[in-house]
Amino acid sequence: MAGLLIAGTGSAFGCLNRPIATNEPRTTATIVERLTQSSVDKIDLLLAIDNSGSMADKQDILAFAIPDLVSGLVNPRCINEAGESTTVGSPNTDCPQGFKREFEPVKDIHIGIISSSLGGHGSGACPEATSRSNVDMAHLLARETESSDNGTIPTYLGKGFLAWDPDQKLDGTPDMPGENDGEADIDTDSPNDLNNTSLVGQLKLMVKGTGQAGCGFEAQLESVYRFLVDPEPYATIEIQEDVAVPTGLDQDVLRQRAEFLRPSSLLAIIMLSDENDCSIREEGRNYLVAETRNGFRLWRPRPECAVDPGDPCCRSCSQDQKGCPAAAECTGTDGFPARLSQQEDPVNSRCWDQKRRFGFDFLYPIDRYRRAFTEAQIANRRGELVPNPIFSDPNPDDLDNNIRDPGLVFFAGIVGVPWQDIARQDAQGKPDLLRGLNQDGEPVGGFKNADELSVPVLDGAFSSTWELILGDPASYEAPKDPFMKESTAPRSGSNPITGDTIVPPTEAGWNGINGREYTIPAESTGDLQYACIFDLPESKTCEGMGQSCDCRAVPGQTNDNPLCQPDGGNDQADPQPRTNVQIKAKAYPGLRELQLIRELGPQGIVGSVCPRQLDNDGAADYGYRPAIGAIIDRLKTVLGGQCLPRTLKPNKDTGQVSCLILEARNTQGQCKCDDTPARTDVTEKHNAARDKVLDDPIAQAAGWDCVCEIQQLTGAEADACRNDPSDNVRVDGNPVNGWCYIDPSIRVGNEDIVASCPPTERRIIRFTNEGEAQQGATLFITCSGE
């Protein structure tokens, strides 16, 4: 047996490992694959934006890319058979003759924003008194500036998020604007709705209003977890006998989650950050890693940590030393466990390489977030497994009682990594965001997708791009690209892809990735060398400014930072002091975010927070346009369906293929397969496949109580399905309900129907009319093969 993966709206498509022959589907040794649910008609889009110092310039670049993001979802391009594309004025405008939408416009979208600031996690860091942005606590943000009250930007019914509603149906009466309807205008206000705003305009304001006055212990990943997943988001953290104890429930988070998150939507999280994640465990004494009061310093690690952080005796000197040899350096002059000095433990650099530096990891493991985005159950505060809100129905009394399929959860990170490392490359191996070759050899440019990131690079010198940009965190192996190594000291080496060499701060030189290393004074509050830098559209003086400006003068410290304008007539390659005028922006290695993206496989999307250029805003490589393009390209494979890379073998007489398609859904005890067109009860010979469906991890959470077979079309109806490109396929005036296989390369079906597929994948399984998966249902498929 061979598994087949299909997905889509209107049509559902599959991914094959080998050709499939024309045998009757068998039920012994059945391989049944869960498919991304069809009928995706809504999206919940969460923007998770770092609001710590130095983020304003990145937020401005993201705001500029908002039209690309919005239009790409609500008004997708029209494409013809030759692969040429064009756009039309609105999602309700038909494509020109000979053109077809990449996917149907999405007409129901929730868009919300949260920041990375969760306060001090029980420590004295990041108090609200210093900045209200320090304690955003994963509440939805709609503020004009970082110092404004939340809610100063109008949102849908004051709920904190925007609602895209071009058909004005949220009020219950389609096409008649009402007070409870959402936004109907993309970028210019019109009489199409009752407000005086637009989706793009409001979202731009919200992005910029996130600000950069938030907590420096950025909890990018935990903020997302708290808003979307945490079954018991705490109201406060109390310190009881030196231990952090989460108490109470944040009812605002629970209410906003229930209003924002629909159980059957496509869920996309887009994270923007220029630093590594620092999601501190909110339990035990982990809060001490953020403690800054009274000159607090962390304890020394045992000597084993410097050699191998994975050694069982790599511990903090403050921990139980049982089973490990005596370590004299673990005892201070006062007889207590030894502590690090200020130079060894600068407070602004406590979130990197913790096990090696402190003998203890204070952060939540990445597996916490992988499980959150993929598994039906998660642990609550007491360690008990409970339903995951992402895969549950938060409002069981409403009409949307279907459960999201894990294949409809996507996580995209626009994070600290050189764009050159993740860009597709031209035929000469040069990173090229405009004409780089995809895995099919097409010059499409942009960033690599999950498959391309996972294959060997540089003629097999490295197992994958991940080895370059991430290394192996489980084994404490650093990335092979030296620009991605976290370090306070100047690094050395060359980028394996571009050959750019790291320039020491004492030598002349300049590279195209991070410029050069710089001197981080031992007496400073801490910093790391940069993964990448980029030109600011406009320079800014840092005189009298706070930590959000990177070129501010610090008494007694030499400034040789590559972000700063050279002094006098010096060249940027000169190892000379620089001025307090900032001309470039920076990013640090975003290793934890990248680790999560890798763990999520095809559900993860990576982009660089360091844009290639900010000079030509009409070019495809401007700003974050390549990152937004990678996100749209990945989502459209679900919204528009996936084309088949390999051929099925139809029966030469009937044209049918030997595949069985099952549909699982929650009918609340009202299952009647025969009452729905194109469905029948599962036959006895297919019971094994049905049992496999009901064994799926999501089955219980989804409450599936109905599994039906969707019928493969025959005769004249099959011919119409294969050859009629219209959305309403009919025979003798009657609708055609069911599915068929189309592959013009073997003279099966109309090539116009597969025109939007890549040239090497122009074959599909097509669902017509009521043969499409019902809203919120999940499809499963098994195919027989030789």
Q: Tokens 């089955």, residue? A: 699
Q: What is the mean pLDDT of residues 492-497?
A: 98
Instruction: Give the per-residue pLDDT at 6.
Output: 34
CA dist., res. 365 & res. 603, Å (int)? 19
Task: Assess if residue 408 is contained within a domain.
Answer: no
Would residue 311 count as lying in a domain?
yes
At 205, the pLDDT band (50, 70, 90 cuts) reads very high
3-state secondary structure of 303: coil
Q: Judge if 149 and 240 occupy the same domain.
A: yes
Residues 6+ apart with CB under 8 A from 697: 375, 376
Report how far residue 77's alpha carbon sits from residue 84's, in angstroms, rounded to the nearest whole number.
10
651 vs 231, 577, 637, CA distance in Å? 51, 76, 28
- What whole-number distance in Å separates Cα of residue 84 and Cα of residue 99? 9
Q: Which two tokens stand for residue 439?
A: 């895995």
Q: Is the pLDDT of residue 529 over 70?
A: yes
Residue 295 maps to a domain: no
* pLDDT at 65 > cutoff 50: yes
Average pLDDT for 415-442: 96
Query: By C-alpha distance, which of 497, 532, 528, 492 is closest to 512?
Result: 532
Average pLDDT, the chain: 90
Query: How many whole angstroms separate alpha carbon 644 and alpha carbon 763?
Result: 5
Report if residue 180 sits inside a domain.
yes
Regarding whether 104 and 13 lie in a shared domain, the answer is no
Model pLDDT, residue 522? 80
Number of domains composing the chain: 3
Domain span at 166:
43-261
Chain segment 1-46, per-residue pLDDT in tens: 233 333 332 333 333 333 333 444 433 345 676 655 455 789 999 9
Q: Rounded to an integer, what distance in angstroms lies between the CA atom of residue 170 and that of residue 108?
A: 9
In the block, residue with structure tokens 């940027």: 572
Q: Give the mean pLDDT of 480-503.
A: 98
Quick: pLDDT tens for 83-112: 788 999 899 899 999 888 888 899 999 999
pLDDT, position 782: 85
Check: CB of residue 531 under 8 Å from CB of residue 487. no
How many whole angstroms separate alpha carbon 446 and alpha carbon 437?
9
User: What is the per-residue DSSP string for 702-744?
Assistant: HT--EEEEEPBP-HHHHHHHHH--SSS-EETTEEP-EEEEEBG
642-654 average pLDDT score: 81
Residue 70 in this model has a pLDDT that exceeds 90: yes
Domain final position from 359, 381, 406: 359
Q: Pick the closest to residue 561 from 580, 546, 543, 547 (CA basis).
A: 580
- Cα 669 to chain centroid distance, Å, stands at 36
Query: Is the pLDDT reported for residue 307 higher than 90?
Result: yes
340/356 Cα distance (integer angstroms): 13
Residue range 157-178, pLDDT digits in tens: 999 999 999 999 998 888 899 9
Does some domain include residue 275?
no
The counts of H helices and E strands in the chain are 15, 26
Q: What is the pLDDT of residue 31?
A: 65
By mean pLDDT, which of 13-27, 230-244, 409-423, 719-733 is the weakest?
13-27
126 in a structural domain: yes
Predicted local confidence at residue 638, as pLDDT: 83
Same domain, residue pair 37 and 95: no
Same domain flag for 247 and 308:
no
Give the strand order in the sheet containing 578-587. Answer: 532-541, 578-587, 564-566
Q: Are residues 746 and 667 in the same domain?
A: yes
For residues 669-704, one letter each, b for 16 or more C-beta atoms within 10 angstroms of the residue's C-beta and e for the rest, the string is eebebeebebbeebeeebebbbebbeebebbebbbb
Q: What is the DSSP letter of 457?
A: B
Between 644 and 676, whose confidence is greater? Answer: 676
pLDDT at 15: 32
Predicted TM-score (pTM) of this structure:
0.90
Instruction: Write down the pLDDT at residue 264.
Output: 84
Q: Residues 716-745: what's their mean pLDDT?
A: 94
Higher pLDDT, 23 or 360: 360
* Per-residue pLDDT tens over the stretch 653-681: 899 998 899 999 888 889 999 999 999 99
Q: What does the pLDDT read at residue 34? A: 61
Q: Is the confidence at residue 196, as pLDDT, over 80?
A: yes
Residue 538, amino acid: E
Domain boundary among 359, 375, 403: 359
Q: Is 629 helix (H, G, I), strand (E, B) or coil?
A: helix
Angle between helices 199-209 and 56-74 (to 10 degrees): 160
Share of the chain above pLDDT 70, in %: 94
Residue 641 pLDDT level (bands cut at 50, 70, 90) = low
pLDDT, average across residues 492-518: 97
Nearest-CA neighbor of 141 among 54, 247, 264, 223? 223
Residue 209 tokens read as: 């209003």
Percent of the chain with pLDDT over 90: 75
Question: Do residues 48 and 32 share a domain?
Answer: no
Taking alpha carbons only, the member of 555, 561, 610 closest to residue 581 is: 561
In this structure, the answer to whether residues 774 and 679 fall within a common structural domain is yes
**Is 348 within a domain?**
yes
Within 10 angstroms of residue 612's Cβ, the number of other Cβ atoms is: 20
pLDDT band at residue 755 using 50, 70 and 90 as cut-offs: confident
H-state helical runs in 244-311: 251-260, 304-307
pLDDT in tens, 535-593: 999 999 998 777 779 998 888 788 999 999 998 888 999 998 899 999 999 999 999 99
Nearest to 492 by CA among 502, 506, 480: 502
Per the CB < 8 A criterion, the answer to whether 709 and 679 are in contact is yes
Give the Cα separation of 80 and 635 in Å (integer).
Answer: 20
Place of tokens 């402190």: 358
CA proximity to 87, closest of 73, 74, 97, 75: 75
Across residues 199-208, what is the average pLDDT?
97
Residues 153 and 25 in one domain: no
Residue 407 confidence (pLDDT) above 90: no
239 and 107 belong to one structural domain: yes
Do 11 and 83 share a structural domain? no
What's the half-sphere exposure (Cβ side, CA atoms, 13 Å) at 160?
23
Single residue among 314, 330, 359 that ends a domain in this structure: 359
Whether residue 70 sits in one domain with residue 28: no
Residue 457 maps to a domain: no
H helices present in 601-673, as ranges: 625-639
C-alpha 725/C-alpha 424 separation (Å) is 34
The Cα 235–Cα 254 span in angstroms is 11
- The amino acid occupying position 521 is P
Asked if 776 and 697 sit in the same domain, the reply is: yes
CA distance 561 to 518: 5
